[in-house]
A and B are shown apart, each in its own frame.
Chain A
Amino acid sequence: MSFVEYKDLIKDGDTAIVFLGHGSMFPVRVQAGGQTQTKYGVIRHSADLIGKRFGAKVTCSKGGWVYILHPTPELWTMNLPHRTQILYSTDISLITMMLELKPGSVVCESGTGSGSLSHALLRTIAPTGHLYTVEFHQQRAEKAMEEFRAHKVDHLVTVRNQDVCKNGFGVTHAADAVFLDIPSPWEAVGHANAALRVEGGRLCSFSPCIEQVQRTCRALEEHGFTEVHTLEILLQAYNVRTVNLPLPDLGKGATADAADAPSDVAADSGPPPPGMAQFKSGVPLKEMVGHTGYLTFATKSLF
C-alpha cells in the first residue's frame, strides 16, 4: 500500500482503514502479530489482514465483520489523528482544481497542520511533483514527517520547521502553486510571490474570517497578483429515505379504493402500508457544516 499507488493485497506495515459500517471507521497500522479491538471483537493482523485483499470482509472474534479498505487521502482525512483543525475534502477538492494541480506540480504549503491537505496534494502531484510544506510547530512538523514516511510518500515531500511569515518556504521561483492556511496569510504573500515561478503560478489562502480575507486581498493586489477571487464551498449531504405519508380520510369511505392513492411506489421498497403514500426522498441531514473558511485564489502573472 501507498497513498500514491493502489495495491491489491494487505502487507505488514500498511495503513488500512477498518470500516465498521454506517460511516464509522478508523485507521489501523498493520503489524505481524498485532491485534485491533473493534466492537465486533478482535482482529488478528497476521491471520485476518496480512495477505488478504483490500476491500475484503474480515470476520472478527465475536462473529461480526468489518471491511478493510485501501487508504486514500479522503479516507485519511476522515480518520486522521487531529493535531490541529483540518481541511476537509470538500474544500480540498476546490483548492486542488483551482490551483491547477496535476502530476508534476511543485507546491508550497503552510502550515502543515495535521497533514490532511498535504496527503491530498501529494496524491495529485505524484509521481513527479514535489511538496514543500512549512510548519512552525516543531512537534507537528516531526509528526507529519513520520506519517509521510509511514505512508510511503516521504520522497515527494520536504517538511521545514520554520515560520513562513518570517522565513518563507525555503524555495525560490520553484513553485507552480502556493497554499496558505495560517492566521495571518497577508504576512506571507511576499514569500509566496518569491516561491512561485517567475513565469507565474496560482495561490490560495484559506481563512475563516472575512477580516483576514480583506487584508489578504489587499496584500495580493499590492504584490501584483491578478484574478483575485474569493469563494466559499458548502457540502449538502442527503440521507436516502423511504417516506410514508398517511392519506387523509376525506370521508370517501367504502367507495374509495387503493386506485385513488398516489401510486408512485418504488417497487423495491415493498407495498406501502394501507392508507399510506410512499416515496423516496433525499432528506438533508439535520445539521450541516455552515462555514469552514473563505478560499481566496489569485494568479501571479508574468508581467
Chain B
Amino acid sequence: MNGQYAALLIALPLISAFFVPVFKGMGKNAVRYFLILVTALQTGIAAWVFKEVYTTGQPIIVIAGGWKPPVGINLYLGHFAALFVLIIAVVSLFTAVFSISAVKTEPIDKYAMLFLLLMLGATGMIATGDIFNLFVFMEITAITAYALTAYNKTGEAAEASMKYIILGGIGSSFFLIGVALIYGSLGTLNMAQIAQLAATMDPTVAQVGLALIILGLAVEAELFPLNAWAPDAYQAAPHPITVMFSAFVVKAALYAMARILYLMQVVESWGSVLRLLIVMATLTVVVAELAALRQKNVKRMIAYSSIAQIGLIALAFALGTQAGVDAGVFHMVNHAIVKALLFLAVGYVAITLGGAELEKFQGLGRRMPLTAFAISVGAVATIGIPLFNVFWSKIRIILATLNVGYTWAAVLVLSASVVEAVYYFRLLHAIWFEGEGERISESMVIGLMMLFLAALVVVIGVYPDYVWELARKAGEDIFNVAQYVKNVPLMGVGA
C-alpha cells in the first residue's frame, strides 16, 4: 500500500472531531461509541504504519500537497514516530473505553471533540518534520489540554487550568521567539534542512534560540521550574484525561525537545544547552519526589511521581550519547504503560468511592481486589524492582549517566528513587494491611484493560529484549541526524 495513506493518522481524528456534533443528535451513547470507533480505527492505522516501518526499516515520508520538502511540509514517520503513534492510539482507545463510565456529569459531545483533538495534536507533534508545524500541533495539544483541564467546571479545575494557560502562553511565546531566531539565521523551517545548515549558524544565536525553544517546550514537558501547573492539572482534570496527559502529551513535548536538540548537535555552543537541560532534569526528579512524599491525595501523589519519571527521561536525553537516548526512549515506553495503568486504576477507584484521598484507599485490597492488584503492580514497577519493566530502563539511564561522567546526577536520581519507594510502600500498606470493607463489584471491561496493562508490565520485565530492540531503533532515529537528513528527500538542496 502507498505510504501516503499514513496521513490518515492526522486526517482521521480531525474529520471525526468535526463529525461529533452530527452524532450528538442521535443521543449521548452514540457519541461515546463513535469515540471508541474512531480511536479503534486510529489504532488500526497506527498498527499498519508500525508494521510497515519496522519490517522495511525505512521511514514513511508523507509529503503534503505534492510540494517536496523543504518547500512543503513533510511528516516523518520513522522508527520513533511509528512506535509512539501506536502507543498514543492504544492509550486513546483505552481512555475512550474508560470515558464511558468516567464522564457523566458534563456534556459529552464537547468532551469527545476535545479528546480527538488532543490525540491529533500529540500525533502531529511526533510525526511532523517542520519546526513551525510542530508549534501549531503543540498549540492544538495545549489549547485542548487547557479546555479539558477546566472540564469539570469546579473552582479547583478552573484554577488549575488558569495556571496552565498562563505558563503555557509564556512557553509558547518563548518557543516562537526561538523559531524566529532560527528562521532568521538559517532561512528555513524544515528540520532536515536545519540539521544540514546548522554548522553554518552563529553559535550565540543558536545557543539563545535553542535555549528559548527548550524553555518553551519545558512547560509542556513538565520540567522544573516550569511544572507548577502539572500536579494541579492532574488532580483537577477528568480521570481519563489524566491518563492521556501522563501517557503521551508529556512524551510528545519531550520528543520534540530531543529532536530539535539533536538536530543542532554540530553547533559549537551545544554542550552548554545540554548542561542546562541536565541541571533542570535532575532538579525535576529530586523536587518532584520530595513533593510526592507529603501528599494526602493519591492522584496528586502519582502526578508528582509521573513528573519525576519525566525528569529521568529528560536526563537521559540530555546526555548527548547514543546510549542515553536509547535508554530514554525505552523509559518513555515503559513509563507510558505503567502510568496509564496507575492513573486508570486510581481514577477508577476515585469514581467508585468518590474521591482519591489516601483514607479512601484503606482496605482496598478487600473491597476491590482486582483494582488493588493493578495499583500494586504499577507501584512496584515504578520504583524499579527487578522483573518489572521500569527496572531495565532505569538501570540503563543510570549506567548511561555514569558513562558520561555525571556521577552527581546519577547519585541524586538514585536517592530520589529511595524516596519514591517510601511513599509507594505507604500506599501499598494502606491498600493491603489497613481498614476493613465490603466487596464492591468491579467493571469487567476496565478490569480487563488493567489486567492487560499489568501483564504487559510483567512480560516486558521478564523479557525486555524485544522492546529494548524497538527502543534502540527508535533512539537511533533521534540520534543519527545524518541518516535523518538522508531519508528526507530535500528538493535540490545540498544534493
A binds B: no
